[in-house]
Structure formats: structure tokens, C-alpha cells
């Protein structure tokens, strides 16, 4: 009986969502061991997870794993889960996590609980809460199966660095199956120099209230003063003011930053679906009836074009950034 977590390397350590998954695993472990599986990581990257409570990790390395192959990765994760007798497999709902989790569930004859925002119970009797219908309702779900695969919405679970485990790292060579057909990643094109909304701690998003693309520099200035990523509403992306990769909402990206500042965004339900799990929401809008204020912790009723320069200046004086 154990919990297996699919971990993803990033920078000197792991993705923050991986640390969040480890902390979430501790909350349901009931003392069961917490193990990880990772691909193409260094031992130095993996041992950073000890502070979060990861007891052991299987490291899969080799030239054949240099390009991400979803079916093969899912097969390897499933093999490790079976060998460990894992009753719960946790996977962050990142672009790769969402891709492999359903495959792992099929391989392990497990029920899949996607996009969880709360975990309850223990690894052998797991219940989860997840938003549905664009966040207009939540459901509490569980599986009928011996093994449960759950994906966790990034940035919702807190990553707690208060354990002192020494992660034991072992190298793992999955069985090769020559009949396995996998899609293979042949290249990655990162948007260099910009912080992506899906990985940002603070997001400043702009909408129609900015009146035109020429005023978006006001959003960018506020974002700079906070070290934040720039987001956009569907309306301004559809209008061609901003690129699609900045779009927050049901048809764009789902985000849960520490702070989300909505500038001149009315708060259509599709937009709220993508950001309503943010920890602190600030809204600036001249229409006091705008739905965005209903989900806001703090709001300013006013014209963004007039408010943003003043707000940016005052925030700069606190953060020292401009």
C-alpha cells in the first residue's frame, strides 16, 4: 500500500505543482509511504523533494526518454505503480499530466478523478472535490476501484516545505514493449522572455475596458511592478489585441495564482471558470454591477485607463519594482 506521484523536473528542482502533489499526498497517506517517479531528472533535482516529504523516487533516464512520449511514459508510471502496490496515483493536471493520467487509469483498471481541488480520506478510501460546469458547481467524487488515479489542479494545494525526509533515489528501467505506439515530442517552442499565466504567482489580466491594444502597456506596467504575468480575456484575444497564449478562461488557460488582478474585465462565466480558484482576486471596473465584483476580494470602481497608472505607481513604491 503506497502513494505514487508522477513528478516533473524544472530548473534546479521540480515543478512547484510536483511539490504541491507531495504535500497533498502527505495529507491522505495515513502513514503509507510516498514514492515518486520522474523522467530525465538529476539526483540533485530529485532530492529537493525531501523537504516536502518524498520518501523515495524512481528515476527513469536514457536517450529514449529525451523526447516525451505519452503512451510510453504512462506505461512506465503504471508499471511502477503496480510494483509498489500503489492504491493512489497522483498526477498534477499540467499539460503532460492531463495527457498521461487517463492512460495510467486504463492500464491500472483504476477510476480517474480529474482536476481535483480538495482531497479527503485516506489513500485507500479517497474522496475528492472538483469544480464542474465552469465552476458553477462542485462535485464530491470517489472511485469503486482498488486503485485511484487523481489529477490535481496546479496552485490550489499548498506546497509545505516542513518535512525532513531524505529522498532515496533509485534508477528504474521500465520494461520495453516494442508494440507500444506513442506520440513523440520532436520540439518545444517556448515563448521566450515572458512569464506564462499557467506558471505565474501573480497575474494581471486586461479586458475590453482597456478600449484598445494601445492601452495594454498599462496592464504590462502593473504586471512589471509585481513581477506578474500578463493575461487577457477572451474578448480581447478574439479581437486580436493579445495572443491566445495569454487567454485566461474556460477556452484559454485555467489558473489559480496567489493574486489575480482583473482590469476592465466584466467577468463572463467563461472567464470566471478559468480563474475563480485564485487565492486573492482584485477587480478594477467602471461598471459597479460587473459580475467580476461578486468574486472579488478587493475592488475599485473606476476606469482602468485612469486607475492603473496611479495603482502601478503606489504598488511600485511598496515592491521597489517598476
Partner 1 sequence: MNILVCISQVPDTTTRVAVGTDGSSINPAGVKFILNPYDEFAIEEGLRLREKSGGTVTTVTVGPDTSKEVLRTALAMGSDTAVFVKDESRSDSFVVASSIADLAKEITPDVILFGRQSIDFDSFALPSMVGELLGWPNISMVSSLTIEGTQVSAERDIEGGKESVSATLPCVISAQKGLNDPRYPKLPDIMKAKSKPIADRVATVVEPRVVTLSMTLPVSKRLNNIMTDSDADIDQLVRLLHEEAKVI
Contact positions with partner 1 (CB under 8 A) in 87-116: 93-96, 98-103, 105-107, 109-115
Instruction: Give the span between the Cα atoms of 262 and 322, in whole angstroms.
Output: 19
One residue of 56, 167, 198, 221 binding partner 1 per CB under 8 A:
198
Segment 221 to 250, residues that bind partner 1, using CB under 8 A: 226, 244-245, 250
With respect to partner 1, which residue has the nearer C-beta, 157 or 167?
157
What is the smallest separation between the CB atom of 243 and partner 1, expressed in angstroms? 10
Among 42-50, 56-64, 163-171, 293-301, which window interacts with partner 1 (CB under 8 A)? Answer: 293-301
With respect to partner 1, which residue has the nearer C-beta, 43 or 238?
238
Q: What φ, ψ does residue 99 adopt, rounded to 5°? A: -75, -40
Going by the DSSP 8-state scheme, the letter that residue 253 receives in this structure is: B
Q: Which helix (H) or strand (E) holds 35?
A: strand 34-39
Cβ–Cβ < 8 Å for 4, 37 = yes
With respect to partner 1, which residue has the nearer C-beta, 71 or 124?
71
Q: Is 30 left (phi over 0), alpha (psi -120 to 50) or beta?
A: left
66 binds partner 1 (CB under 8 A): no
310 binds partner 1 (CB under 8 A): yes
Counting residues that bind partner 1 (by CB under 8 A) gives 95
Instruction: Give the span between the Cα atoms of 151 and 93, in whole angstroms.
Output: 5
One residue of 83, 125, 185, 239 binding partner 1 per CB under 8 A:
185
One residue of 40, 61, 215, 251 binding partner 1 per CB under 8 A:
251
* Cα three-residue angle 41-44-47, rounded to 5 degrees: 95
Pairing of β 259-263 and β 298-301 = unpaired
What is the smallest separation between the CB atom of 151 and partner 1, expressed in angstroms? 8
With respect to partner 1, which residue has the nearer C-beta, 58 or 198?
198
Cell of residue 184, nine digits: 513523440
Segment 5 to 24, residues that bind partner 1, using CB under 8 A: none
1 binds partner 1 (CB under 8 A): no
Going by the DSSP 8-state scheme, the letter that residue 15 receives in this structure is: -
178 binds partner 1 (CB under 8 A): no
Angle of helix 217-226 versus helix 304-319 axis, rounded to 10: 20
With respect to partner 1, which residue has the nearer C-beta, 1 or 315?
315
**Short-list 301, 242, 238, CA closest to 270:** 238
Amino acid at each position: 500500500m503506497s502513494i505514487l506521484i508522477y513528478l516533473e523536473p524544472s530548473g534546479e528542482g521540480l515543478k512547484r505543482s510536483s511539490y504541491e502533489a507531495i504535500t497533498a499526498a502527505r495529507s491522505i497517506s495515513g502513514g503509507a509511504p510516498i514514492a515518486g517517479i520522474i523522467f530525465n531528472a538529476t539526483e540533485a533535482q530529485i532530492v529537493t523533494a525531501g523537504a516536502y516529504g518524498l520518501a523515495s523516487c524512481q528515476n527513469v533516464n536514457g536517450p529514449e526518454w529525451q523526447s516525451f512520449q505519452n503512451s510510453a511514459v504512462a506505461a512506465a508510471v503504471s508499471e511502477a505503480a503496480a510494483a509498489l502496490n500503489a492504491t493512489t496515483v497522483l498526477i498534477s493536471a499540467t499539460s503532460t499530466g492531463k495527457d498521461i493520467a487517463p492512460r495510467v487509469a486504463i492500464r491500472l483498471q483504476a477510476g480517474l478523478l480529474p482536476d481535483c481541488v480538495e482531497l479527503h480520506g485516506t489513500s485507500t478510501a479517497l474522496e475528492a472535490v472538483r469544480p464542474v460546469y465552469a465552476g458553477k458547481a462542485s462535485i464530491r467524487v470517489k472511485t469503486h476501484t482498488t486503485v485511484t488515479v487523481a489529477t490535481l489542479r496546479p496552485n490550489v494545494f499548498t506546497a509545505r516545505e516542513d518535512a525532513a525526509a531524505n529522498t532515496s533515489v533509485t534508477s528504474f528501467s521500465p520494461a520495453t514493449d516494442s508494440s507500444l505506439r506513442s506520440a513523440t515530442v520532436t520540439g518545444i517552442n517556448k515563448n521566450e522572455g515572458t512569464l506564462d499565466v499557467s506558471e505565474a504567482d501573480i497575474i494581471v489580466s486586461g479586458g475590453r475596458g482597456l478600449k484598445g491594444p494601445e492601452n495594454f502597456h498599462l496592464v504590462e506596467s502593473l504586471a512589471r511592478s509585481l513581477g506578474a504575468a500578463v493575461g487577457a480575456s477572451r474578448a480581447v484575444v478574439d479581437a486580436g489585441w493579445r495572443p491566445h497564449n495569454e487567454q485566461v478562461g474556460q477556452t484559454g488557460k485555467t489558473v489559480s495564482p496567489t493574486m489575480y488582478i482583473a482590469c476592465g474585465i466584466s467577468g463572463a462565466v467563461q472567464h470566471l471558470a478559468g480563474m475563480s480558484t485564485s487565492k486573492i482576486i482584485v477587480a478594477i471596473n467602471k461598471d459597479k454591477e460587473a459580475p467580476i465584483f461578486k468574486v472579488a476580494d478587493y475592488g475599485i470602481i473606476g476606469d482602468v485607463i485612469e486607475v492603473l497608472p496611479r495603482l502601478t505607481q503606489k504598488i511600485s513604491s511598496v515592491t521597489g519594482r517598476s
